[in-house]
Structure formats: structure tokens, C-alpha cells
Structure 1
Amino acid sequence: MVSITEKLHANAIGLDAREPLEIAALLVESQADAARVVADVLPELCVGAEYMAASMHARGSLIYAAAGSSALMMLADALELGGTFGIEPGAVRVLMAGGIPSNFQMPGDTEDETASLKDALADVSARDTLVAVSASGSTPYTLEAARIAKEKGARIIAIANNPDTPLLALGDCSILLHTAPEVVSGSTRMGAATAQKIVMNTMSTLMAIRLGHVHDGMMVNLKADNHKLKKRASQIVQIIADVPENAADEALLLTGDNVKLASLIAGGRVGLEEARRLLDTEKGNLRGALTRLASTYQFQE
């Protein structure tokens, strides 16, 4: 039986003989359709995000494993977790079949090579979560990574675009994306990967919110390591603490560009040590720390 990701798209017959505008419209619409299927798996995304957050709370690792186009999608998500949400580099690992390309070639045969995974996953434990992504749901590299991690007690988030596949059977949280056949048959960098990217972006953002790294839609745990992000950090502190730019900048200077601490300090109610104590008490959750600060201040007045 031909898998969905390998079938011919019903509207692709004669594709190469059509006008460019018609082809472009079909390609765009097919990816838009793929994006819409993610709405069918919202409960699963919430479960997956909870697994990810639990691993971060337990000081475990978030491990991504995939090959080919799926690996590129997971890589894009994983690489942004540090700068966007302040996730420590050592807490995120990426296992990509053949390794991360250093040139413009990604050999296809590497997805069948599994020998390196035993060593790569030697230290996996029950504190960890592995996100395994495969459009086919049967990629040997991804399957072996999920199998090894599961044997070691890690939770498995399995993402695939074909039903009844071995990868989904291994998942503690299995996410089936019912995407249609690709307009270019088998080119899962299109529709299937579009849906996968949305899934991973959504789960990692939900994880960050659960960890207290987002406040009113603002990245309060961002790593302000360039001019643009330093300006963003200042704007966030100005909004949260309701202070002018100079007060926000002074608080950020005092805290080493820590937005959460600066937001607590900028209003002039507490110093650095008290701000740290408040955040520690609330396990890094800024909203909880602000609520506790407001209650204390109101009581004192």
C-alpha cells in the first residue's frame, strides 16, 4: 500500500504543462491546507508541551530527532529556543541523521544509518523528552532514536503524517498530521513539513509559557545579545513596570539584561536580591512574582 506522503496529488496531473501562476496557486494552497490540519491535534500539542516543560523543570533534556526535511523543521525550532525563550543551550539537543549539514548537501542515505544513536543517547533518562519527527512515520534513524530513548524511560513525542505507522506506535504523545499527498509527490518539505513546523513552534511556545517565559505575549526570558533585542528588552520592561525608558535601562544594566528581574526592580519597590528571591519563590514565573510584590507593597502601605 502506498503511503499518503508518496501518493500523487489529485490536482497535480499535468502540473508541468500549466502556467506558472496556476502552479504557484496550487503549491501555496496545498501548504495552506496542510497548515489547517494542525487544528485537529490541539489536545495532543498541549500534552506534548507539558512533557517538554516537565523535562525543563526536572533539569532534563529536550531532544529532537529526525532526518531529511523533518530534521530541518526541528532544527529551526530548536535553534531559536535559546534566544527567544532563554532556554539554556545544554538543555536542548538535536540529533539529525548525518549531522547538521556544513554545506548545501543533505545526503538521503543517512536516514538509514542508526549506529551512532546508541552513543548519542547513552545518557538519556526519565527526566528527558524526545521529539521524534518523520513524515513517513517509518524513517529508520528516527524510529531507532525513539526506541532507544523509550527504553531508557524518556517520554516520546512522535510526529508523523501517515497513520498506523511504527513511529506513532512508540509515542507517549502521538501526533498524526492528516496532510494530503504532496503536489510534488514525496517532496515532504512542502505540505508535510509546513504542518510539522507549526506543530513544533506551537509546542515549544506552549512549553515556554508553561515555564513562565512569556508574559502578556512578551518574551520576558529573551537573551538580549544584540542591539535589536536590547531595545526590545527595554520596551518590555517599560510596559510591564510602567516606567520611562531611562528607568527600564537602568534596571536592565543592574540585572545584566535580565528582563524578569528588571521588571520587578524598575518600579523602585525592591532591590536586586529581593527581586531574585521573589522569582525563586515563584519558580521563575514573573506574573506570580509581580502579584506577590503587589500584595506585599499594598499591605505595607
Structure 2
Amino acid sequence: GYARAMQRLVRWLGASEANMQMGHMRFEPNINLHVTRGQTTYKTPIVEVKNLNSFRALENAVSYEVERQYAEWQADPDGFTLEKQGKQNRGYDDTTGQTVFQRGKEEAHDYRYFPDPDLVPVVVDDAWQDAVRQSIGELPLARRQRYMDACQLTFKEADALTQDAPTGDLLDDAVTAGADAKRCVNLLLGRGAALANERGCTIAEIGLTAGALAELAGMLTAGQINATAAAKVFDKMVETGQAPKAIAEADGLLAVTDAGQLETWVDEAIAANPQAAEDAKAGGKKRKKAFGFLMGQVMQKSRGAADPQRVQSILAGKLGAE
């Protein structure tokens, strides 16, 4: 919604941390209804709900006010109007979920504003605005749309990667280095998001570099490592700062693609589980479960290093393709 987009923009620009619990940001929505009955449009009194410090409070306060104002207008269509009652300030009670009248709202002249001689007028001309637009860089909603258009990301994926600028920069820099965007996204929103959640920080703050991300994504694309092993490498490279390939080599996580070794593991799995092999050969409802079980046995024997696609192909050849 609008409020979350505003918080994201403020953070993106570095104007504020916009932490509502810390008092960096508050919302004071103005609510009134325009109700048309017949040829007449009625305007209910404008209510400003003060000092809301959470998105939940904002949503609940606005929803309550809409219902309250409509009910009061229905009870007195000619009396409950902006013209007759003016504007008012109300507070929100988290416990009851209701707004509470505080006072009538003053007009501008009631505040007795006067010019301050130390504050000179600021003229915002077109040239200044154009210069700001040129220097401000890509904003979050524009980047989100770019990810959806250029990288074929879903809205959910693109939205998650544009919660802050540095996380999106990680993706952009890795792709510029030659990595596949979708591979990078899966890594960032998989183990990257999990680690960030554990540490209470953004994905960009977990200690990942674009170079390491690009290298690991490239290893996945080349079939040098499978997804399970990649998750282990990801965690270790974030923890130690080591290069992905060095970690995979040292920990024996590089994918095994040697046909002879893969076939040996497959044969051992079939020999150790004859009933599953028979179920897989028989087809029908049992095949999928039995086939998956045997796949798991092979991956277990290889300690996760076997290339899953090649294992699947070898198993299908021995058990019969469905």
C-alpha cells in the first residue's frame, strides 16, 4: 500500500531509517466520506487520526473511521456533514480498535502563522526539479518494474528485492558480471533471505558480495554443483568470505557427473531396495513415490553430490520411463 511504499522510499533515499517503533515515522491520515443520495452529495466531517505508529494501527483506524462515519451519517444525513461540523482530531485506541474524539481542528489562521525573517523563501523551479530527477537515480517502484520486465521476475520476487537499494544492487552487479538473474534471485531469496531473517538485517547486510553471488550462480548454471550443495556453500561463503568454488572443492560438494560413478550408486540403491524398484517398474500410483525414494537413496549415498538430472535419467533407463 501507499504507506509501506512511502516508508520504502524514505529509506531508499537515505532520508530516515523510518522505524515506526523508534518514532522515526508516524502517520496521521485524514478521512471523510462523499456519499451520493439522489442528486445530492454529502461530505462527512474530515477526521485526522493522530500519531499512528504501526501499519496495523493505520489500517484499523482508517477502517474504523469509514464505518463510524457512514453509520453516523446514516443516522443524521443533514447534520453529520463537513459544512455543519467542520474538522476534528481523533486518537486511536489500540486496545478497543476505536478512535476517540480529541478536539476540533483549527484552520490555518487559527495557528497564527507569521513569517520568520531567518527563513528565506525557497523557489522550486523546473530546472531545479529536473536536476534532482537526474541525480536521484532509479527509485524502488521503477526498479521493481524493471526486474519484472527485464528479468521475468514475479511481482513477489521483484518486490522483495527492492525493499532496500543495496539488495537490488547485489543482484544488478552479479548479473552485470555475467550471472543468470533467476539463479541469483533464487539464492538471494532462499538462503539469503533466511540468513537475513535470522540476523534481523537486510539481505545486503549478511556479508555477501556480488562477485561471490555471481560465481555460485555460475556454478549452478554449469551443473558444477546442485541446489542442496549450493545452499551449504552459500552459508559458508557468507560466514568465511571464501570463494564458492574453493569451498565446494574443500568440502567435496562439487557435483559428481561421472557416468560410471553415478551408475554404481544407482545400482547399489536398487539392490538395497528391491521392493521400491519393483514398485517403480510396475508403474501406476506407486511409481512416483518409489522413484522419488530411490532418487533420495542415491543422493544420500553421494552425500548430495550426485547430479540429480543425470541420476534421474539413469534410474529411468533401468526402471523404465513412465
Under a length normalisation based on structure 2, what TM-score does the superposition of the two structures give?
0.25
Higher RCO (C-alpha 8 Å, min separation 6): 1
Which one has a bigger Cα radius of gyration? 2
TM-score, length-scaled by structure 1: 0.26
